């Protein structure tokens, strides 16, 4: 698992190593390769840290010698590692192109060289750009708008190219917006929740009308496990939640979950190039692999807010640390 100390990767590792937590893929060993950037955190793996099947390698997916030494002996690579925050990509795109594009190519080359059985590439709905009405299917043309999504589109297409060119067993997942525990408090839900729990204000972009489809991180990981286990080589699978909300609607839900009112909301200038709406069709993964999200937004959000309330020791140091 690359990026297994991040938000989604760590959920995947915890799920795989915890009996009954998700689809049983029965891994005999799991290696996490993670650079521990600002969003990577060993504490995210604390619940499974003592599992003898888990090995942690601190390192960069862009380092060919390191990757070449770690990859042999693994049946599957699940590739989560990425620079993942759109606002950071607007401020500076270099680490996005380096990690997301060059890092992915470095991993693909190593997987090809060492004959890794399967390469699961974790991608995003943002590669499609923005859709005014209806929902994207997996055949839709990619039209990314931010440096983040453009770098993810590059890596997504590279992964598919290694299947077509070299016959590698590659599967790609494209998922909608995730929320849940252990999410670094720069993304909208943990940022708003932690600000509100601290008695502060929250910044709402533009008119608040941008629409996102929200999915609990656990449901994303269940979808990835199904694709890892049963997805067809060379195929793309959408993973989504079917719960579309405007940012303003989401803000209202978070305010009421934190017992706060609208006077805590500060309108700010819209994000540059802000995609208006994302919407995925998940018919393919439902029909082929039997996927269905299991956590409804109301209970998932309530549990998430409770987790941030109960785990200040996890997020307070992250918010107090100097920006990097």
Site residues (CB under 6 A) for ligand NAD? Answer: 2-3, 5-9, 34-37, 39-40, 60-62, 80-84, 99, 103, 122, 124, 152, 175, 177-178, 184
Cα-Cα-Cα-Cα torsion 305, 241, 105, 231, nearest 10 degrees, comes to 130
Catalytic residues, which ones?
Answer: 125-126, 148
DSSP helix/strand/coil, 145: coil
Q: Which is nearer to ligand NAD, 135 or 177 (CB)?
A: 177
User: In whole angstroms, how close is the CB of 210 to ligand NAD at the nearest point?
Assistant: 14
Minimum CB distance to ligand NAD smaller for 177 or for 251: 177
In the complex, the smallest distance separating the C-beta of residue 85 from ligand NAD, rounded to whole angstroms, is 7
Q: Quick one: 14 or 35, whose CB is closer to ligand NAD?
A: 35
Beta pairing class for 177-179 and 211-216: parallel
User: SS3 of 234, please?
Assistant: coil
Min CB(97)–ligand NAD separation in Å: 11
User: DSSP of 36-99, one letter per residue?
Assistant: --TT--GGGGGGGTT-TTEEEEE--TT-HHHHHHHSTT-SEEEE------HHHHHH--HHHIII
Nearest CB to ligand NAD, comparing residues 151 and 251: 151
Helices 312-320, 188-197: axis angle to 10 degrees equals 100
Residue 309 CA: distances (Å) to CA of 63, 190, 196, 314: 38, 11, 10, 10
Do strands 244-246 and 211-216 pair parallel, antiparallel, or not at all (unpaired)? antiparallel
CB of 7 to ligand NAD, least distance (A): 3
CB of 86 to ligand NAD, least distance (A): 10
Residue whose CB is nearest to ligand NAD in the complex, by number: 6
Residue closer to ligand NAD, measured from CB, 42 or 248: 42
């Amino acid at each position: 698992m690359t990026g297994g100390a991040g938000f989604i990767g760590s959920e995947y590792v915890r799920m795989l190593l915890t009996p009954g937590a998700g689809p049983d893929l029965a891994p005999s060993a799991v290696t996490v390769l993670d650079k521990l950037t600002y969003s990577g955190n060993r504490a995210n793996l604390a619940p499974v840290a003592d599992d003898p099947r888990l090995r942690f390698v601190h390192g960069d997916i862009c380092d060919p010698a390191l990757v070449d030494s770690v990859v042999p002996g693994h049946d599957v690579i699940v590739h989560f590692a990425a620079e993942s925050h759109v606002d950071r990509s607007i401020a500076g795109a270099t680490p996005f192109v380096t990690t997301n594009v060059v890092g992915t190519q470095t991993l693909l080359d190593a997987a090809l060289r060492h004959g890794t059985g399967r390469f699961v590439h974790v991608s995003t709905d943002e590669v499609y750009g923005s859709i005014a009405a209806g929902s994207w299917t997996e055949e839709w043309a990619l039209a990314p708008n931010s440096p983040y999504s453009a770098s993810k589109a590059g890596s997504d297409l590279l992964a598919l190219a290694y299947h077509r060119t070299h016959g590698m067993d590659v599967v790609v997942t494209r998922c909608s917006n995730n929320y849940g525990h252990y999410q670094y408090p720069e993304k909208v839900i943990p940022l708003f929740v932690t600000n509100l729990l601290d008695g502060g204000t929250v910044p709402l972009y533009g008119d608040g009308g941008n629409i996102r489809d929200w999915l609990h991180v656990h449901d994303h990981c269940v979808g990835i496990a199904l694709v890892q286990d049963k997805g067809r080589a060379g195929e793309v699978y959408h993973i989504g939640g079917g719960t579309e909300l405007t940012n303003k609607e989401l803000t209202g839900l978070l305010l009421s979950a934190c017992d706060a009112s609208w006077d805590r909301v500060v309108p700010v200038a819209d994000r540059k190039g802000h995609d208006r709406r994302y919407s995925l069709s998940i018919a393919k993964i439902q029909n082929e692999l039997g996927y269905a999200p299991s956590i409804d937004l109301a209970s998932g959000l309530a549990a998430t807010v409770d987790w941030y309330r109960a785990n200040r020791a996890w997020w307070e140091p992250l918010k107090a640390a100097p920006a990097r």
